[in-house]
Copies of this chain bind each other. A is one copy, B any other.
Amino acid sequence: MVNIGDVARAAGVARSTASYALSGKRAISDEVRLRVQQAAAELGYTPNAGARALATSRSNVIGLLAQFLPDEFAPAMLQYIQGVANTARDLGYDILLSSDPDGPAALKRLTDSRMVDGVVLLNVAEDDERLPVLRTAPQPGALVGLPGDCTGVDVFDLDFEEAGRAMVEHLVDLGHRDLVLVSQPAHVVERGGAYVWRLQNAAIEAAAQRGVRLRPVHGSSSQPDIGRDLHAILDAHPEATGLLLNNEAAAAALPTVMHDRSLSAPGDLSVVGRYSDEFARTFSLPFSSIESAPDRLGRMAVRQLVRRIEHQIPGDAPHVVRFVAPELVDRGSTAPPRRR
């Protein structure tokens, strides 16, 4: 493989001069710079990543810790990964993807080995075991998802409280007084999936304030179980006129379930979900929803991370906790309830 010594020799300069000419880190005469650049191009020179990382203590790689949990709906995960990967590339970073089920160990190895300049954590839990590891690491970290303790990390998430309120308000304003909220499985809550109870508690409170009934229920996070769950839920709550979904699998399964029961939205039931527009297109979902903005969250996380890596913000700059405001995308699945 051609190295910087080959380039230097071809250009007739010292290796240090070649390095500077290529990096632009100090003034080089136009003539020499051009000669070096030309030699590098002709020889097809690409710096050795390991050598550069060793010399600079920088790898230009971002670690992406994404766990494919059996109780998460995989297609929803992909969107975060794409958002992170695309933004990283645009900013000149490669992505090292770790799907290791042992998150803390994987994170420790990635940071201790200096393979990565920073990390993005997905599937963040209330009491995430990766956080203590991350806090002692020299590299900065950005999270997509809100943990209980945000010290030492930058945090980005959808404002699930506001999302819960917005869903309730929207339906109550239309005249609904009997709502059902389908959340993730209880197991996700036990694991510390705070977004479940953040949305749920806010929805319950908003419903109480408006004097309407809201029943929270759990639903499976995979097919075909969730279809069966939805049938049971609709059987159990015939009086409900509004359905709120904080469960992607439920959203994906609902059209079929409604078809089977000859129900249509918003005629028989008003429905509002919480998922991304891309997700809605993938599954052809006809339901209005709170946009969960995975691409935007991934982008925000990477941008902030890169700012810290490149010291574009002072080292002691306070860490941020930033919420994306929920926006309701109207797909026409809500209307005033039918008189009964």
A positions within 8 Å CB-CB of B: 1, 44, 46-54, 59, 61, 64, 68, 73-75, 77-78, 81-82, 85-86, 89, 94-100, 108-110, 112-115, 138, 222-224, 227, 252-253, 255-256, 259, 281-284
Contact = CB atoms under 8 A, between A and B. Distances in A.
B85 A74 contact: no
A53 B113 CA distance: 11
Contacts of A281: 222-224
7 contacts: A49-B50, A49-B113, A94-B110, A252-B284, A253-B284, A256-B259, A259-B259
A46 B109 contact: yes
Contact of A48 (B1, B48, B54, B227): B54
Given A49-B50, A259-B259, A283-B252, A100 B89 contact: yes
A96 B95 contact: yes
A114 B1 contact: yes
A113 B256 contact: no
B284 A256 contact: yes
B78 A94 contact: no
A184 to B, nearest CB: 16
A336 to B, nearest CB: 26
Contact of A74 (B47, B75, B98, B256): B75
A46 B97 CA distance: 19
Contacts of A283: 223, 252, 283
A223 B253 CA distance: 16
A53 B46 contact: no
Nearest to A44: B112
A24 to B, nearest CB: 19
A89 B94 contact: no
A92 to B, nearest CB: 11
A138 B51 contact: no
A174 to B, nearest CB: 25
A223 B98 contact: no
A115 B46 CA distance: 11
A109 B49 CA distance: 10
Contacts of A54: 48, 50-51, 54
Contact of A223 (B109, B256, B282): B282
Contact of A256 (B46, B75, B78, B255): B255
Nearest to A111: B46
Would you list the 7 A-B pairs with minimal beta carbon distance, nearest first? A50-B53, A46-B112, A223-B284, A49-B113, A50-B54, A97-B97, A49-B115
